[in-house]
Each structure stands twice: as C-alpha cells, then as structure tokens.
Structure 1
C-alpha cells in the first residue's frame, strides 16, 4: 500500500509517499517554515510525489499527524487529509504527535516504556505514556510540571520530545533518561509507518487539541455596523 503522509503539527510542513509493502520511502519533502502551512502544504505534497515519480492516482491511503501541536497547523493538516481522502476515494488515518515520537523512540528504549512530552508553554506539557508495541499506559493529556514529573516516575520510562529535558531535570533524572529531546514532532516517514501499523479501518482523522487556541477575540470588542 502506498501511503501519503502529511504533518503540519509543528514548525515543519512535511509530506512523503511511503510503500508499506516494501517498507521503502519513495519520496519526501520537508520544509521548516514556522508558519504559513496553508499556503505551503499542497506544494510540499506535490514535491514529495514528484520525488517519488508518482501522482495522486498512486496514493492508496493517507496518514496525517493530528496533534497535539499548533492549533492552526493541526487543523490545516487534518482538513487537507480528509479532503484528499474524499477526492481520491482512499482511506485516511490520524496519528498523534506523541504516539509518533514514542514509536520513533522504540528502538532506543530497549523494552522500556516511552513517555512522550511536548512543551506546551504556559508551564504545561502535552504528555502520554506508551508501552512496548505502542500500548497506551496513559492517554494524551495536558499536564503541569508536577504531574509530568509524577508520570516520569512511573515505570522508569525513556522520556522523549521537546519537554523531555525539563521534565527529566525536575524529576532528578540523568541524561540517560531522555532521547529525541529537541523534537516537537516525529519524522514524516514515522507518521506513515505508524499509520500502517495502526491500520486504516478506524474513524476519520480528527484534531487532538487538548486545549483551545492561543489567539482569542477581545472581550467586548466589536466592529461598528455599516451605516451606524
């Protein structure tokens, strides 16, 4: 099965075409753009397909990172994946950024559980705890530092993601407790591989926000009506 994977949950705008049958990465395009995913995403997908020598007709399934991450980025990625799924008449599946990071770290964990932690700012963290094979020990949640440290004390996990060092230091753990500590999202190929492992028979992708957007309308602010 040829899987088109999309990730716009963080600063990167990335897409790849992955052949689950052979386990081969056919084509990839990833750009560290920060913002502007809506304008860049279709061009990134087109470039990934071109590198693979493929077209949309070759896509047999779609995988997308559903967050947590950038509110706008997640919404753009999921909407694009669902639109392409409908247009191409192929299944689509969502994977969380936390599960993808844990999946990427499995070879480094040596059988230990993996705690995926992303710095959500405001002294909060997105976190989830996974066992070998992707078993969910603690589902994705937003935690304060004390709660994240308490989770790090469970089962002596390998801690990964952009919040890993902060949590490990607060828990009094050494550097061997962390890996992939600079990452806010997994490699795009990992998104495709994890979706293949999870399968495409479930519900359609939907965003996993865990909290509301940072940008909110001002209270009591309204534009004057025309002619008023």
Structure 2
C-alpha cells in the first residue's frame, strides 16, 4: 500500500480533502443566508444577486481564477488590505480553499434554495403570528425542515471543491505541498513521461471520493427526512 502512491501523491490527496472541507464549512453559513434571501425575499437587485451567485457556473474557471487573483492577489484591493492582517490567499492553500468555495457556492445555494422553497410559507407565518421573531422562526421552523437540503448542498459543494482545477491553478498555481490538489497533481503527472499510471491511480481516488460523497449525501438526506417526518 505504501508503494501504491508516492508521498507527494498522498500529500495531494490530504490537501484536497483539507481544502474542500474548509471551502465547504466557511461558505455554508453564507450559502444558507443567500439561499434564504433568494427564496423568501423580494428586493431590488434580486435578479442581479442570483446572476452573481450562479456566474461561476457559466464563466470559464480560468476567468474566475483570474478575477480572484486580481481581487485577492497581493496587488489586489482586497488582497493588499488583508495582507496587513497577515491574511494571504495568493499561492497559498487558503487561496485554493477560496477558489474552490467560489466555484462550489452555486451548487450549494441551489440545493438549499430548493429546500426552502419546498417549505410551506404558512408554517413560518403561523409562528410569526404567535410573536416569534424572524430569526427564531427560521431556527425553529425553517431550519429543521430544510436540513436535508443543507446536507445535500454541503456535500455536493464538497465534491465539487475536490474536483476544482481551472480557478485553483490560475489563482494559486500548482505548488507541491502547498497548493497542489488532486486535479493539479493529475495534470502535473500527465505532463511527464511515465506519469500515466500514477495519474490513473489518482483519477481512481478522485472518482471514489466523488461517488462516496454523492452516495453519502443521498443517504443522509433521506435519513434526516425520515426522522423529520417521524417527529
């Protein structure tokens, strides 16, 4: 087993899991909030917000990565400001997590938004008429009902983050041990003679992780839905 993958390959696998996990966890609260806004509120600029959320799905990933570099690079307006506080994204694993989070965000928001739209608004209105504040209505009524959608959206975002390549390599390059995730490692192996076999092994690992995430998402969502229905 130790010879099956090289230490650098295992490092790429571990870094991909780390990047995908942080990308999902950090973006989840914002994803829930944006999904709730799009599902329940009417406001000026709603269509614009919806377009911005889904823009990473339409733009070439390289373009998204370039925009992140312009914004969060050392010379970018946000990157230069954050650097004063010791927060650096460009050419760091944190930047890979940011790029993966941006690319996975639309899938997360869409799954959660569909769950919120499936909740009968009259249930929320009934709680509101009893004097409950909006945040309390969301926490006690809406959140439990949309939990399967949140779980599904989070795991789909995790799977997407695991496979992100274009935006990541454009924003943080392909630095072994720092920003070289699974897709970047596969790409690097395919550029050298004799790299086909180890690249194929990494492809197999990528497929296995993605399928496991999708199956786990489906299983957890169904289990939570059954529990809610039983309660």
Aligning the two structures, in what range does the TM-score lie when normalised by the shorter sequence? under 0.3
**Greater RCO structure (CA 8 Å; 6+ sep):** 2
With the length of structure 1 as denominator, give the TM-score of the two structures.
0.27
With the length of structure 2 as denominator, give the TM-score of the two structures.
0.27
Structure exhibiting the larger radius of gyration computed from Cα positions = 2
Question: As a proportion of its length, which structure holds more helix?
Answer: 2
